[in-house]
Amino acid sequence: MAILGSTGSIGRQTLDVIRQHPDELKAVALTAMTSGDLLKQQAEEFGVKNVALMSEEAARQHGISGGMSAVVDCATLQEADVAVISVAGVIGLEPTLAAIEAGKEIALASKEVLVSAGEVVMPRVKAKGLTLSPIDSEHSAIHQCLIGYDKSEIDRLYLTASGGPFYGRSKESLQTITAEQALKHPTWAMGGKITIASATLMNKGLEVIEAHWLFGASADQIEVVVHPQSIIHSMVRFLDGSVLGQMGWPDMRLPIQFALLGPQRVPNSNRRWNPLESPRLDFLPPDPAVFRCLDLAYSAMREGGTLPCAMNAANEEAANAFLAGKCGFLQIAEIVEEVMNRHKTTEASLEAVYDSDSWARSEALALMANQG
């Protein structure tokens, strides 16, 4: 497999899965953004000769192939059967499409690929007769529950959310939230951007859009429920009223393993869950008045076209500004909403997606500069 983003959280855990299953899995290409030293260490450990850094400057410093073309070469390497896409941002779209065109199966962790360009990506996957397997724990759970069933039998998808560090808080109490507080996620250890998106519930909104493209469900069929224990990773309710859910301790190595080796169930060293260790499983509604990003994501999905791309780009810039202490926590949703209101939605194409992403980032930065 080719692992794009091997030095990030998902990439490192993918390599851990390979360590546990060396007879079934082999890395043949690794890429990163700037972390050349770690990339070299990984390549040495796994005997990988094909490596690339997206940053051309970092690539020159480390004596490694660099730039988008080098990353695309890794994604489309002849020896690779699967491309694991765990690249942050819309920058992962081009190598994903190249891998699809080259006939590679896709194991997808990068939300932006489907959020920004689901209308572009999924028809190409279907036309090539390929499989796109989700790595997100929520979508992996739904995927596992749907094995043996047709998507037409779905009544409702329940995406579970931990609620982040601020569930139950009033809007007023979040006025002075700091980045340090927002980064203290109660369940998952993730990167800064995705942790902030979890705190605002935008991360769950992005997953709603992904679920639409992955499972063909409408906005009215997808519901987010807060599940603080994070044991049930998502559920499917079928037309007959039956509900199936996938359960286990929070550990991204399980959905990664299933994306790469499923539907086979193979042993691993992950901690085993049993019902006596956490007999209480709570389910609560999100508060749309406090966590407004969730409704913004639903609105973007319903309109479609380039609006989800613009929403995602604006959210990334606002979240980065919050992390840098340049805007408040509640301002994130305000900035995203204003950018969405200003965006002129067009049909999604590769060029339109890139244009919308660039425009929305500039618009969000300009808004924050004027407010600051």
| Chain segment 13-56, per-residue pLDDT in tens | 999 999 999 999 999 999 999 999 999 999 999 999 999 999 99
Query: What's residue 192's pLDDT?
Result: 63
Q: Roughly how many angstroms between the first and final C-alpha of the chain, as a whole number?
A: 46
The CA-atom distances, in angstroms, between 100 and each of 10, 28, 32, 76, 322 are 20, 17, 20, 8, 35
Query: What's residue 247's pLDDT?
Result: 96
Domain 2-134 has CATH 3.40.50.720: yes
CA angle 329, 161, 298 (to 5 degrees): 70
Name the helix (H) or strand (E) containing 219.
none
Query: What's residue 188's pLDDT?
Result: 56
Q: Where are the domains of the chain?
A: 2-134, 137-303, 304-372
Query: What's residue 278's pLDDT?
Result: 85
CA angle 178, 185, 331 (to 5 degrees): 40
Query: What's residue 187's pLDDT?
Result: 63
pLDDT < 70 regions, the chain:
185-192, 372
Query: What's residue 189's pLDDT?
Result: 57
Predicted confidence (pLDDT) per residue in 74-84, tens digit: 999 999 999 99
CA 37 – CA 41 distance, rounded (Å) = 6
Query: What's residue 177's pLDDT?
Result: 84
Cβ–Cβ < 8 Å for 68, 95: yes
DSSP category for residue 329? T
Whether the full predicted model's pTM is greater than 0.85, yes or no, is yes
Query: What's residue 183's pLDDT?
Result: 76
Cβ–Cβ < 8 Å for 42, 6: yes
Query: What's residue 190's pLDDT?
Result: 56
Question: What fold characterizes domain 304-372?
Answer: Rna Polymerase Sigma Factor; Chain: A (1.10.1740)
